[in-house]
Amino acid sequence: MKEFLNYIDGEWSVSSSGKFVEVLNPANGEVLGKVTQSTKEDVDRAVQAGKRAQKEWSLVPAPERAEYLYKVAFLLKERKEEIAQVLTIEMGKVIEEGRGEVQEAIDMAFYMAGEGRRLLGDTIPSELRNKFAMSVRIPVGVAGLITPWNFPIAIASWKSLPALVTGNAVVWKPSTETPMVAYEFAKIYEEVGLPKGLLNLVNGAGREVGNAMVEHPDIDLISFTGSNEVGSAINGRAGELLKRTSLEMGGKNAVTVLADADLDLAVDSILWGAFGTSGQRCTATSRVIVHEDVKVEIEKKLVDRIGELILGNGLDEKVKIGPVINRPALENIDRYVRIGQKEGAKLLAGGHIVTENGLESGNFYAPTIFTDVTPEMRIAKEEIFGPVLSIISVKSLEEAIEVNNSVEFGLSSSIFTADVNLAFRAMRDLDSGLVYINAGTTGAEIHLPFGGTKGTGNGHRDSGVAALDVYTEWKSVYIDYSGKLQRAQIDNY
């Protein structure tokens, strides 16, 4: 059976626990291999390797560091199809989306390689004559990255590439659901000749590895994408230890459809945003906030078209919707659907685990639409992370914005309208890190900051130039060339 190992200090190794966990194909339950289960000792070895390697790495000029990133970009490009296939087999997203995700990592690698020739600081006028002032970015040290299974290579690229180009070493814990993709990515770092110890991979389910990373005195920051429950636990402990964290967590994203909107375009975007990736994106559309005048029409269009969403194994190019990641996720989605029914929402489509057409051995959930949902219902407030959409009707833009903003998350919001004035007003008032006008809630591009307000994050951003702030400290430098004592705030006034 294929074994997926740790990569520490440039060597592939079995964890000190000697334990393994099976990796399953979510489309059919087939065992794909097994992944090593790391311990605190493995984390410590990875951190020590990172710490040693980072000393020299921080002295390598950033444009030279960036050359490794260019090589990563080209190798990813060469292997795009191969990695997309692994993604589909292991995580379940359809092959077209698998290719899209690898493309996201390629884009990020080129973008961050370019940063190697910028990493801009500031020069600022000093208050005093014959004195020079500037601020420069310095690496934080060893970055601990904890990444999820839903975008196993894209999110790993959002974090590892800026960390490395800014001069840090990385200890990376991917989700144990997706060790095959993690292996592919780590192997690329190995093949481009990244100096050993700079990128360390530690696999492990449960909390042991994550806790060991948060607790380790030589891990200088934790960048995490995943659930609010885990993010909040990380932040609590890291807060006590005064350790920097960058957190990207849940969403309860809505598309607002005003009465003057292009309804067909809105429906296209809602179907893709709600059911693409089986709803397992933090940017997924899980609510539609529709003006009452077009509610019935939107409902009809959505229901009429739901049959287009062919479920199945994502390797089949015809298939539009793959499985959800595992059995517990499938059961959790079903539990939410029962909650919605109990709360009095009206089921328009789906609402069940798929148990026919040979799909019963996989984790398939029928694309589900609820209407007559009210903002107080749990299905309208809590992140389900599956193909479940709730339609809420409103009477005005003001009410739509209020409903959009009423949830505890603030990742992505979208509005469809033909009125430019309303669009700008919505852009200002929708409380989220991402806002889309006449486009759905998914599809963020890597050269813009990615993250959210309120319960979605803690003020930091992945990707875009903002990512550099996560992985660097500012150092303010003053150079006095007057040759005499100049007392700031005193001698100049």
Interaction site with ligand UN1 (CB under 6 A): 104, 150-151, 281-283, 442-444
Cβ–Cβ under 8 Å, residues 366 and 352: yes
Question: Considering beta carbons, is residue 296 or 448 the nearer one to ligand UN1?
Answer: 448
> Parallel, antiparallel, or unpaired: how do β-strands 169-173 and 142-146 relate?
parallel
CA distances from 349 to 283, 303, 376, 448 (A): 22, 7, 21, 35
Question: To the nearest whole angstrom, how small is the minimum distance from the Cβ of residue 433 to ligand UN1?
Answer: 11
> Parallel, antiparallel, or unpaired: how do β-strands 453-454 and 409-410 relate?
antiparallel
Q: CA 119 to CA 138: how far, in whole Å?
A: 10
Question: To the nearest whole angstrom, how small is the minimum distance from the Cβ of residue 252 to ligand UN1?
Answer: 13
Handedness of CA 320, 326, 330, 336 (dihedral sign): negative
CB atoms within 10 A of CB 328: 10
Question: To the nearest whole angstrom, how small is the minimum distance from the Cβ of residue 88 to ligand UN1?
Answer: 16
Q: CA 486 to CA 491: how far, in whole Å?
A: 6
Question: To the nearest whole angstrom, how small is the minimum distance from the Cβ of residue 396 to ligand UN1?
Answer: 28
Question: To the nearest whole angstrom, how small is the minimum distance from the Cβ of residue 281 to ligand UN1?
Answer: 4
Question: To the nearest whole angstrom, how small is the minimum distance from the Cβ of residue 224 to ligand UN1?
Answer: 12
Question: Considering beta carbons, is residue 194 or 270 the nearer one to ligand UN1?
Answer: 270
Cβ–Cβ under 8 Å, residues 364 and 354: yes
473 catalytic residue (yes or no): no
Q: CA 134 to CA 125: how far, in whole Å?
A: 8
Question: Considering beta carbons, is residue 179 or 451 the nearer one to ligand UN1?
Answer: 451
Q: CA 237 to CA 146: how far, in whole Å?
A: 15
CB atoms within 10 A of CB 454: 15
The number of residues making up the chain comes to 493
Q: Is 113 left (phi over 0), alpha (psi -120 to 50) or beta?
A: alpha
CB atoms within 10 A of CB 215: 14
490 token code pair: 């005193």
Question: To the nearest whole angstrom, how small is the minimum distance from the Cβ of residue 443 to ligand UN1?
Answer: 5
Q: CA 484 to CA 324: how far, in whole Å?
A: 69
Question: Considering beta carbons, is residue 184 or 248 the nearer one to ligand UN1?
Answer: 248
Cβ–Cβ under 8 Å, residues 340 and 119: no
Q: Give the active site residue among 104, 177, 248, 299.
A: 248
Q: CA 480 to CA 478: how far, in whole Å?
A: 6
Q: CA 189 to CA 113: how far, in whole Å?
A: 14
Decide: helix, strand or coil at residue 442. Answer: coil
User: Residue holding tokens 């007392």?
Assistant: 487
Question: Considering beta carbons, is residue 37 or 442 the nearer one to ligand UN1?
Answer: 442
| The 31-36 sheet, strands edge to edge | 3-4, 31-36, 20-24
Question: To the nearest whole angstrom, how small is the minimum distance from the Cβ of residue 22 to ligand UN1?
Answer: 25
Helix (H) or strand (E) holding 304: helix 295-305
Question: To the nearest whole angstrom, how small is the minimum distance from the Cβ of residue 21 to ligand UN1?
Answer: 23
Question: Considering beta carbons, is residue 65 or 281 the nearer one to ligand UN1?
Answer: 281
Q: CA 114 to CA 59: how far, in whole Å?
A: 18
Active site residues: 248
